[in-house]
Every structure is written in structure tokens, then in C-alpha cells.
Amino acid sequence: MAASSVFRPGLFNHKVAIVTGGGTGIGKAISAELLELGCSVVISSRKAERLEAAAQEMRQKIPPSSPACVTPVTCNIRKEDEVKDLISTVLKKYGRIDFLVNNGGGQFQSPAEYMSSKGWKAVIDTNLTGTFHCCQQVYAAWMKKHGGVIVNIIADMWRGFPGMAHTGAARAAVDNLTKTLAIEWAASGVRINSVAPGIIFSKTAMENYKELGPEIFKMSIPCSPAKRLGMPEEISSTVCFLLSPAATYISGASLRVDAGQSLYRSMWEIPDHSAWPEAPEGENQEALKDLLNPKSKL
């Protein structure tokens, strides 16, 4: 929260945003920058104590002259009724919802063969179904008649997501959902885009992966063309751009914010093996054998 926004002060004065997962990591950075720009922000997640602590911290940064304020509201986005209550609470307090940032989500590391049905369902329900609930309910309650902007936070899942098949599948689905809703809701003046972060370091994210956290982030650095990890504030500025008047002709897009990581290399290493069938025999196979095992000239 130490970073200062590159956007002009007051850009979002008197606007209202909901940021799910807004109390930690990327969501906290997004919320803080929106507040700095004059936007009132409702932060939501399942953990009331953590939300309130984040809200108290953010309040101390809001200038006395700013129209912005931050409101914590607990909500489990897996549950449609709780999402409806969240939207209703925001409309009762502020009378409008200009922006929705679907940042809430979660996952754990596991090879697909060891992933339980319960674990799979929990991640799909949060990252995909929860995002759908938030989009659908905010549209029905406000944006269908008044327009608005939605940004979905997804992930670098363009080449699959080995080690996290559940979140890879969910985030890929949200990418498609974004494209679908951009068309279905265009006539209501709703713009909807996705942001796909690369490896973004935050203290909270490292702690979420417990003892594996430090090693995961250390191992990620060589996979980035930047040879460093991204920071939450580098995602929040992108989100603010997509919410801003500078992006009024952008909808249905997925913006990769990963320093080119999705073009570069994967952390998943495939060991040497001979499990695949042999290549077809013939002159090309023989030439390849000679290339890989040249005959001695002695």
C-alpha cells in the first residue's frame, strides 16, 4: 500500500466498487488504489477479522477531503444467497455499483492424480462458480439498467496449469465466461475484461502455501523474463486502467500481466523417460539415431 497511483487524483470520485478478496494480496492493492483515486470500496471475503483489519489500515490512508470510504462485508462467494446479500448491502449503503472486481479465489498445490473430489469441487466452486454468482447478481441488481465495468482476475493458465489442474480449469472457464458476458451484456453498457497475472508475490500468498511458499516463489524467478517476481501494485494499476475512461472501447479481453512469462517457460519439469511409443521407422528415424548417437570415426 506504499505505492502511489500513476492515475490522476480524483479519477474515480463518487464511484462505488466491490472487490472480492479485497483484504489481502492483489485484492488489497486494488482496493487501496481505488480508494486513493476517490472510489468508495466494499471489500469482501469469508474472514471478518482480516477484512476489518484491512479496512482499518486503508482508512488511515484516505485523505480527509476525499469522498472515498471503505466498507468490509463478509461473503462466501460460493453461496448465491450470500452474494445476493452482499449486493443488497452495497446498494442500500451507496445506491449504486459502478465496478465489480472478481478477485476472490483460492487453490492448493497438488498433482491431478492425488486431488480429491472435495478439493477439486471447492476450488471450482470458488474460482468459477463464485465469480459467476458475483457477475450475475450485480448485473441483475444494478448493471442491467445502469451499466458498469467488471474485471475478473484469472491466471497464467494458457499452457495448462500442471500442479494446480483445478484452478487452471476454473480460470480458463472464467476467461471464456468473460468473453460470453461481454457479448450478452453489451447492450446494457457493461464492459467486462480479465486480467491474468503471472507470478505475483505477496506475504499473504506465501503464507497460504505454508512451508512450500518460500520455495515456490524462489523457484518462480527464473521462469520470468524479467527475472523478478511481480508485485500486487502492478496488477492493481492494470485493473484501474480497465475500469477507467481510457478503456471505454475494451471489452471481452484478457490482459496478460506477466512480464512475458506465458511465452517463456514452465516451472513443471518432465523427467527423462521412455514411456512413449517409438517413432515410425524409416530413413528419418535412422538419420535421427545417427544424429543422437554418431558412429565413431576410429
- pLDDT bracket for residue 117 (50, 70, 90): very high
pTM score: 0.93
Mean predicted lDDT score pLDDT of the chain: 94
Helices (DSSP H) in the chain: which residue ranges?
25-36, 48-59, 80-94, 117-124, 130-138, 144-146, 165-184, 203-208, 213-220, 232-243, 283-292
For position 268, what pLDDT does the model report? 87
Cα 76 to Cα 44: distance, rounded to the nearest angstrom? 8
Which residue segment(s) compose the domain that 178 sits in? Answer: 16-292
Is 167 a member of any domain? yes
Is 2 a member of any domain? no
Cα 296 to Cα 298: distance, rounded to the nearest angstrom? 5
Evaluate if residue 1 carries a pLDDT over 50: no
Tell me which of 36 and 204 has the higher pLDDT.
36
Is 141 a member of any domain? yes
Evaluate if residue 25 carries a pLDDT over 90: yes
Angle at CA of residue 230, ends 227 and 235, nearest 5°: 150
DSSP 8-state code for residue 271:
P
Q: Which residues contact 246 (CB under 8 A, 6 or more apart)?
A: none
DSSP 8-state code for residue 56:
H
Tell me what the mean pLDDT of segment 20-27 comes to: 96
Is 1 a member of any domain? no
User: What's the pLDDT tens digit per position in 120-139?
Assistant: 999 999 999 999 999 999 99
For position 204, what pLDDT does the model report? 81
The CATH number of whichever domain residue 215 belongs to comes to: 3.40.50.720
For position 298, what pLDDT does the model report? 63
For position 197, what pLDDT does the model report? 97
Cα 162 to Cα 159: distance, rounded to the nearest angstrom? 9
Evaluate if residue 187 carries a pLDDT over 90: yes
Cα 294 to Cα 111: distance, rounded to the nearest angstrom? 38
For position 136, what pLDDT does the model report? 98
User: What's the pLDDT tens digit per position in 280-294?
Assistant: 999 999 998 899 888
For position 208, what pLDDT does the model report? 75
Is 5 a member of any domain? no
For position 3, what pLDDT does the model report? 61
For position 139, what pLDDT does the model report? 98
Is 189 a member of any domain? yes
Is 298 a member of any domain? no
Tell me what the mean pLDDT of segment 225-253 comes to: 97
Beta-sheet strand order (sheet of 254-257): 70-74, 40-45, 16-20, 99-102, 148-153, 190-197, 254-257
How many structural domains compose the chain?
Answer: 1
Is 9 a member of any domain? no
User: What's the pLDDT tens digit per position in 39-77?
Assistant: 999 999 999 999 999 999 999 999 889 999 999 999 999
Q: Are the C-beta atoms of residues 242 and 255 closer than 8 Å to each other?
A: yes
Say if residue 79 is exposed, middle or buried (CB neighbours under 10 Å; 0-12, 13-18, 19+): middle
Q: What percent of the chain has pLDDT over 90?
A: 83
